[in-house]
Amino acid sequence: MAEAFPIAMIGPFGLSPKGTMRRRALPLGQALAERGYPVSVWMPPWHTPSEAGRTWQEGGVAVHYVPVRPSRPPLIYPLATWRLVRGALSKRPRVIHCFKPKAYAGWAEWLIWHLRRLGGPKVRLVVDEDDWEGPGGWNTLEPYPLWLQKTFAWQERWGLRHADAITVASRTLQTLVWALGVPPRRVHYIPNGVWPTPLGDGRRIRDLYGLGEAPVILLYTRFFEYDAARAIEVLARIRQEVLGARLLVVGEALVAAEGERFRRLAQQAGLANGLIEAGWVALEDLPDYFAAADVAIFPFDDTLVNRAKCSGKLADLLAAGVPVVADAVGQNAEYIRHGETGLLVPSGDIEAMAQAALALLRDRPWARALGERAAQRMLAEYHWGALVERLLEAYEIA
C-alpha cells in the first residue's frame, strides 16, 4: 500500500439535513481511514449553527464544524471559506477533496487553486460532483434568487474545469463533465455505495403501526423526484386487487407543500386508510422499516436532475434485500438488473409499476429471491471498501 498521508475533505454544509456529506463524503472518508489514511472533514454547519466549532471522531474520521456566524454578517462567506481552507491545510494534506463545486466548498476550491498559483500549498485538488447544479439541475428545484443561481452555475463550470481530478456519482454526470471539455482521464466514476445492512426487526414496525400481516408497500422518499399523484395512483391500482395493501411512507418531503398535497390526494382518492406516514426515520432505525416491507416502489421522473443523481435511498433498499420496483431512469438501471435483482419499468408508467408490484406480492418466493440477489450484488460491487479503490486512482495514490 502507498504511504498513508493525510487527506482533507471540504463540504458546503454539515452532515444534516442534506445528505451529500453524511451519505457520500463520510463513508468514503471512513473507507480511506480503514486503509490507514488520516482523514479530516471540514464543514460549515449552515443548517445547524448551534454546532459551530464542534469537533469529533466518526468511524475513524476527524469531523470539524467551523464557525459560521461572524459579528458582521457580510463577512460570513469569505470568513467561513477561509476557516474551511485554513482548517484543511492545518493537517498538511497531500489531497484536498471538495464535495460539490458550489457554495462554500466551491469557494474553498477557488481559494486553494489561487493560493497554489501564488506558490502556496502543493496539494492535489479534487472535486466531487454528485448532482447537477446548474441549468436544468438543482437551480430549477431550489428557490434560489437569480443572482445565486448564476453564482452556482458559474462555480460549477469553473470548479469542474480547474480541478486536478473530478469524482462523479453517475454516468450522466460523467458525460456532462466531459461536455465541459474536461479530459476523460481526469473524470472518475464513483457511484454511491453501501455498508453491510444490519438485520431489521420488521415485526416491531408492523406492531407499532398495527399492520398485522397486511401486504406492505414501502415508499422511501422525499417526493421531489416525481409527481406525488403518481404514487397515489399506483397504490389505488394495487388496492383494486389487494384490498388490504398498505403504503408505508418513510421520509419527509423536501418541500412541505408536496407532502401536504400527497395527503390531500390520498384523501380525495379514498386511500387515507391505506396510508402509513412514518416521517423522518433515524438511520439506525431504517433496517426495521425495510424489514417490514414486502416490496418497495421507487418512482423517478425522467429529468436531468434524476438522470444525474445516484440515489443513496435506492442503494440502501437493495442492500437491505427489499424487492424493488423502480423507474428505469439513470443510475436506477445501473443498480438494478431487471428480473435478477429487482424490476424496472418505464418512467411514468403507472400501470406497469402497479402490475410489477402486484406480481411480487403474489409470488413471495420470487420477491425474496430478487431481494437476496440484490443485497449480494450491492455488497459485492458497491461496497464502500471496494469503491475506495477508484478514489485512490483519482488521488493518484493507488
Q: Is 318's pLDDT higher than 90? A: yes
Asked if residue 220 lies in contact with residue 317, where contact means CB atoms within 8 angstroms, the answer is: yes
When pLDDT is averaged across residues 299-311 and rounded to a whole number, the result is 96
- pLDDT-derived band at 77, boundaries 50, 70, 90: confident
| Confidence at residue 49, expressed as pLDDT on a 0 to 100 scale | 87
Q: Is 160's pLDDT higher than 90? A: yes
| Confidence at residue 2, expressed as pLDDT on a 0 to 100 scale | 58
Q: Which residue has the higher pLDDT, 255 or 62?
A: 62
Least confident of 154-158, 249-253, 352-356: 249-253
* Cell numbers at 210, concatenated: 398495527
Q: pLDDT tens across 206-219, in order?
A: 999 999 999 999 99
Least confident of 151-160, 249-258, 345-354: 249-258
Residue 217, strand partner residues? 247, 295
When pLDDT is averaged across residues 109-129 and rounded to a whole number, the result is 96
| Confidence at residue 12, expressed as pLDDT on a 0 to 100 scale | 95
The greatest distance separating any two alpha carbons of the chain, rounded to the nearest whole angstrom, comes to 70
124, with CB counted inside 10 A (0-12, 13-18, 19+), is middle
Q: Which residue has the higher pLDDT, 1 or 225?
A: 225
When pLDDT is averaged across residues 305-327 and rounded to a whole number, the result is 97
- pLDDT-derived band at 398, boundaries 50, 70, 90: very low
Q: Is 68's pLDDT higher than 90? A: no
Q: Cα 88 from chain centroid? A: 24
| Confidence at residue 397, expressed as pLDDT on a 0 to 100 scale | 63
Q: pLDDT tens across 246-272, in order?
A: 999 999 887 778 889 999 999 999 998
Q: Is 43's pLDDT higher than 50? A: yes
- pLDDT-derived band at 19, boundaries 50, 70, 90: confident
Tell me the domains of the chain and their CATH numbers: 7-193+383-395 (3.40.50.2000), 202-381 (3.40.50.2000)
Q: Is 396's pLDDT higher than 90? A: no
Residue 78: closest CA among 102, 107, 112: 107
Average pLDDT, the chain: 94
Q: Which residue has the higher pLDDT, 69 or 158?
A: 158
- pLDDT-derived band at 17, boundaries 50, 70, 90: confident
Contacts of 155 (CB under 8 A, 6+ apart): 101, 102, 103, 106, 107, 110, 133
- pLDDT-derived band at 70, boundaries 50, 70, 90: low
